[in-house]
Structure 1
Amino acid sequence: MSHKPVDLEQATSSELIDQYTELASLAGGLAHEIRNPLSSISMNASLLEEELHQSEDPRDRRMCKRLETVRQECHHLEEILNAFLQFVRLGELNPQPTDITDAIEKFIEFYRPRAEQQQIDISPHLSPNLPLVNLDRSLFRQVLLNLAINAEQAMPDGGLLELQTYNRNDKVVLEFIDTGVGMNEEVQEKMFQAFFSCKAEGSGLGLPTVRKVVLAHGGTIQCESEPGKGTRFIITLPALGD
């Protein structure tokens, strides 16, 4: 069965759900088929590693290290698989009239201990009395977390993470700003493509998931970045009328 392509920049929540329903179903079946043998490989590698761990034979020690590598790669594949399932399983939105300031403040409270471990200072500048927005709070929290993780990776030695909100032309705007390494134009052109990543351990699905969730809410997302000068993500969401 053929499907009419959807222009993601103009897509409504309903169109996005229709576009990804079949993909989500296929992904679930594929994940099941992959996860079972992957778990078996990881379990057997672990058992073999336990048998060889006490051996003093140099050959056994080399095999033990290689089995450890196999287990690590299995774990990495499991993480990619989980990220992919999260990406394709948007599901039906459950939007509720939401005070975005409250949602952001609760996220900051949750995220601050991790930020402190990474030597990242969080500086919120949240405008009071913003109009409500229609948000699926769970998915919006995932947007904030994915952007925070992206900022973390751009600031390996710590830095400043700034969150700003304001009202503009009947839109609620969130700016997510880091003082990290920044991105060149080539990376910016590809960063919302599924599985594109500049990081060895990245799944390449964090920012595509962010974009997909924002679009599903009828919003837009833009990025401003320059190498050595940090990155600014600008998210706009339609405000609810009176």
Structure 2
Amino acid sequence: MNRLASIARRWRPSLGLKLAGLLLGVFSAGAATGIALWQRWPEPGLTALLVILLGVLPCLLLAGRATRRIRRMLRALEGAVASYRDGDFSISTTDHGGDELSALVARHNELGRTLREQRQHLVQRELLLDTVVQNTPVALVLTDSANRVAYANMAARQLFNAGKRLGGLGFAELIETLPPVVGEAVASGEDSLFSLELEGGEETFHISQRGFRLQGRPHRLYLFRRMTRELSRQEVATWKKVIRVLSHELNNSLAPISSMAHSGAELTRRGDTEATLRVFASIAERTQHLHGFVDGYARFARLPMPRLQSVDWRVLIESLTAQVRFQVHEPLPDQPVRIDRAQFEQVLINLLKNAHEAGSPPEAVELRVTRVGRSFCLDILDRGSGMSEAVLANALLPFYSTKHSGTGLGLALTREIVEAHGGRLQLSNRRNGGLRVRILLPSMLDA
């Protein structure tokens, strides 16, 4: 008995069960009263009326009172949801009925607390991001679909408007107030370098620009980074490396030449003509090697501008097959390419020879020429040893070489020629071994 009483105390009937029980009790009481009256006044029509009045009508009145609370809470919840839609998460409701409706209200309030916390975290992150962006030395400008400034940090305000605000101003009008080189860099639509006379000296900037959609509308982001100090550091580091390479190569050649010259003088004094001739031959060989080394650096420094002419792809490749072995991927593009034929032949010969020297089987060295958008794409493929990540990152830098006797100018010179043609050079490892050297060249339509 005590156990049943304990269970009864813990059991909390739901709102629906409470309402149903209440209505059933009222209807039963009304029906009992109606039956008692029928026994005293047994006329059928009057009895039915009494049953309705005393049984059904009180049920309707009580049901209306019971649903009034539900309607009130639903209106409160509807107003809170409308506030959430408008971004106001401070609204909460209260109900102490202890049933399903109270549980719904509690869950709603918990949702409001969660949304308020998330909003607070987002605000804090936005403040942190804005602080970082505003204090970065990189000038940042965001323009909208009408090419008006939607956002600019402090560095951009200093660069373009003497520290004054830029929001809402036309970006094209701002650029027109600066030297033409800035407008040319912006109009190119690509990353590039340009120099300005700024604060009593020449300042070099790197511009990076990207287009994207923000809230469904096109925007464009411009980043202007001062590069003078970085370029100066890189220039000093490059000159130090050049001096080290030159010193090493000169010492490797001059020390043996000095020693052989001394030996030649001694042999001449003794009258050993045959040995003296061998010494002079060795001196000439080392001198020729040194001349080739210095000439390679001179050619890199004096690379002439390309003389562009229309060249048919098949004619170009036929001239290469006579000098180096490789496979050609067919078909070749019908449209000719505008290049300096002598320079570009040397580029392709160097790259194809590199593929053979990397240990690739001769039949696996392949040249592919395709169209990619409005550009020509040349791929030189091999199945050699490939490159490590460190070598890939530095292979195109001047004076970088992994060969014992290399000058580090081959790929650097190749990149200079390709870029002088308005193209790009890319290196990447192939999935099953080997290297891919890709050259992207503008077509005649873009020339």
Give the match for residue 77 of structure 1.
290
CA distance in 2, matches of 1:190, 1:241: 33
CA distance in 2, matches of 1:149, 1:46: 36
Q: Deviations over 1:90-118 (max 9, x none)?
A: 11221001123321221122224xxxxxx
Q: 1:64 to 1:4 in 2, by over 3 A?
A: farther
Is 1:204 aligned with 2:408?
yes
Q: Deviations over 1:196-225 (max 9, x none)?
A: 110012111000011110111011111112
How do 1:1-242 and structure 2 match up within 5 A? 45=260, 48-49=263-264, 52=267, 73-112=286-325, 122-155=326-359, 160-225=364-429, 229-241=433-445
The size of the alignment, in residue pairs, is 197
CA distance in 2, matches of 1:3, 1:74: 43
Name the aligned partner's letter for residue 123 of structure 1: Q
Which segments of structure 1 move beyond 3 Å, counting only runs of 4 or more?
1-7, 41-53, 63-76, 156-159
Q: 1:6 to 1:87 in 2, by over 3 A?
A: farther
Deviation at 1:142, TM superposition (A): 1.2
Give the match for residue 238 of structure 2.
none
CA distance in 2, matches of 1:47, 1:187: 41
Partner SS state of residue 323, structure 2? helix
Q: 1:68 to 1:196 in 2, by over 3 A?
A: farther
Deviation at 1:128, TM superposition (A): 3.1
Q: 1:221 to 1:111 in 2, by over 3 A?
A: same
CA distance in 1, matches of 2:361, 2:380: 19
Deviation at 1:146, TM superposition (A): 1.5
Higher radius of gyration, 1 or 2: 2
Partner SS state of residue 163, structure 1? strand
Give TM-score, length-normalised by structure 2: 0.38
What root-mean-square deviation, in Å, do the aligned CA atoms of Structure 1 and Structure 2 show? 4.0
CA contact (8 A) 2:313 2:332 kept: no
CA distance in 1, matches of 2:300, 2:343: 11
Give TM-score, length-normalised by structure 1: 0.66
Q: 1:139 to 1:6 in 2, by over 3 A?
A: farther
Q: 1:185 to 1:241 in 2, by over 3 A?
A: same
CA distance in 1, matches of 2:431, 2:288: 32
CA contact (8 A) 1:171 1:239 kept: yes
CA contact (8 A) 1:220 1:237 kept: yes
Partner SS state of residue 350, structure 2? helix
CA contact (8 A) 1:165 1:174 kept: yes
Name the aligned partner's letter for residue 186 of structure 1: A
Partner SS state of residue 147, structure 1? helix
CA distance in 2, matches of 1:149, 1:196: 18
CA contact (8 A) 2:261 2:279 kept: no
CA distance in 2, matches of 1:5, 1:88: 24
Structure 2 residue ranges without an equivalent (≥5):
1-200, 208-249
Q: 1:203 to 1:228 in 2, by over 3 A?
A: farther
CA distance in 1, matches of 2:344, 2:358: 21
Identity over the aligned pairs, expressed in percent?
29
- Relative to its length, the structure with more helix (as a share) is 2
Structure 1 residue ranges without an equivalent (≥5):
8-34, 58-62, 113-121
Q: Deviations over 1:21-40 (max 9, x none)?
A: xxxxxxxxxxxxxx9xx89x
